[in-house]
Every structure is written in C-alpha cells, then in structure tokens.
C-alpha cells in the first residue's frame, strides 16, 4: 500500500484541520491488502490492542480511527463533535499519548495500543477519576465528558498530583459546550490531592428558620 498523506486524507473527507500531533507514515501490513474493486476504496487489515484486548479488523484506508472505534468495534463512548480535530470529544489514548481520533486514520494505528473511555471502569466500578467527576458535578450534557476523561487520565498517568494550573493546561484541547470547565479541573485535581479544596467554593450555612 502506498503512503497516505494527510493532504490526501483531508481532500477525501472535505475537512480542513490543524494537526495537533505529528503524523506518522503509513506502514503496510504484512498481510496481503485486499485489492479494491473499480471505484472502491482500498482496504487494509490492521491489528490493534483496544482496552487490553487484541483486535483484527479490515478497514478502508480513508476511515478515521474514531469511526472505526464507533462503527466497527461498537465503542461509542468516543464521541465525534466537530470532525475537524478542534473540540476534543473524540480524544483517546494511543501508546500513552492523547490523540484526536477523528483526525487520525485507522491504518496509522496498526500495531498500537489504544485506550478508550470504555476501558476506564474496572469490574463494574468507576475509576477514581470518573468518580471524582461525578462528585464534582463535572458532566452536564455529558457530550464532552469522554474526551475530558481521556485527557485527564493521560495527565494523571504522567503526573499523579497535578496542580490546578497543570490540569487546566493539559485539558485545553477539550471544549465544553456547557462551559463547565472549572468543575472538570476540580475533579482532576482532587484525584491526586484528596485534601485539596477549591478556595472559590464557600460553604453557606443554612439558618434553622430558613424555608
């Protein structure tokens, strides 16, 4: 299979995006690539490890990682908000770093380790970060929450006790249409700093005679 450039990908999908990460070259798989019929898109069989499970799947060379995860593997926790690599709703962790999966071709992920939001909870129990998001009322409409979780998970793996400033910096690539950023940041900081208390939150006592 020939190299697939980002220019070719963008022209094929009609998108105009700014790449947030370096784009790897496409390495053809050792398995034979299925020959496309006239007018059909080329297809490649790839191997992935998704949330700890080895997977094999044949994908069209033009498919994004996001649509492959959602439509072919049924992992719909990864959201597509803008399809332009701008909002962060599709963020997943790939080989330890966050990527916008809507702007990353599935064929580039051949042989890589991928973690999605479905891989955070274990044995039916929310991860500490997920529980902290709940405790701090971080999710509102919830559409951006998966991406927020994945960015924060990558941050905590690299820095288990982030400051508020570090948390904000790490999550700047995730947009929240409900503008609930502060609660997301608070949820992240509290995971690594259980004694931390937001200085802007003031407990107002309720008088005995209040209705």
Looking up tokens 């973690």 gives 115
Looking up tokens 């947009």 gives 175
Where in the sequence is the domain holding 85, given as residue range(s)? 6-29+42-119
**Token pair for residue 202?**
């003031």
Of 18-27, 31-40, 200-209, the range with the lowest mean pLDDT is 18-27
**Token pair for residue 138?**
């971080």
Are both 104 and 47 inside the same structural domain? yes
pLDDT at 193: 86
Residue 100 domain flag: yes
Residue 208 domain flag: no
Are both 52 and 151 inside the same structural domain? no
Calculate mean pLDDT across residues 134-163: 96
pLDDT at 180 over 90: yes
Domain boundary residue among 95, 119, 143?
119
What is the rounded CA–CA span in Å between residue 93 and residue 190? 22
Cβ neighbour number for residue 93 with a 10 Å cutoff: 20
Are both 47 and 92 inside the same structural domain? yes
Of 33-42, 112-121, 128-137, the range with the lowest mean pLDDT is 33-42
Are both 85 and 15 inside the same structural domain? yes
DSSP state of 99: E
- What are the angstrom distances between the C-alpha of 66 and each of 27, 50, 136, 178, 209? 19, 13, 28, 23, 55
pLDDT at 195: 74
CATH of the domain at 84: 3.10.20.30
pLDDT at 73 over 90: yes
Q: What are phi and psi of 126, to 5 degrees?
A: -60, 150
What is the rounded CA–CA span in Å between residue 155 and residue 122? 19
């Amino acid at each position: 299979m020939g190299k697939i450039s980002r220019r070719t990908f963008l022209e094929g999908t009609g998108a105009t995006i700014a790449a947030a990460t370096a784009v790897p070259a496409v390495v053809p798989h050792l398995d034979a690539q299925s020959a496309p019929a006239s007018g059909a898109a080329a297809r490649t069989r790839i191997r992935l490890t998704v949330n700890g499970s080895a997977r094999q799947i044949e994908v069209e060379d033009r498919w994004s990682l996001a649509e492959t995860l959602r439509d072919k593997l049924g992992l719909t926790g990864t959201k597509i908000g803008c399809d332009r690599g701008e909002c962060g709703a599709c963020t997943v962790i790939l080989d330890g770093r966050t990527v916008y999966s809507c702007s990353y071709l599935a064929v580039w992920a051949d042989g890589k380790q991928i973690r999605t939001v479905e891989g955070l909870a274990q044995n039916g129990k929310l991860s500490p970060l997920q529980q902290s998001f709940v405790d701090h009322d971080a999710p509102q409409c919830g559409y951006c929450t998966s991406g927020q979780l994945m960015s924060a998970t990558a941050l905590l793996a690299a820095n288990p006790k982030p400051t508020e400033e570090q948390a904000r910096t790490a999550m700047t690539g995730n947009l929240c249409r409900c503008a609930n950023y502060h609660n997301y940041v608070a949820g992240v900081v509290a995971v690594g700093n259980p004694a931390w208390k937001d200085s802007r939150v003031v407990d107002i006592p309720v008088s005995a005679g209040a209705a």
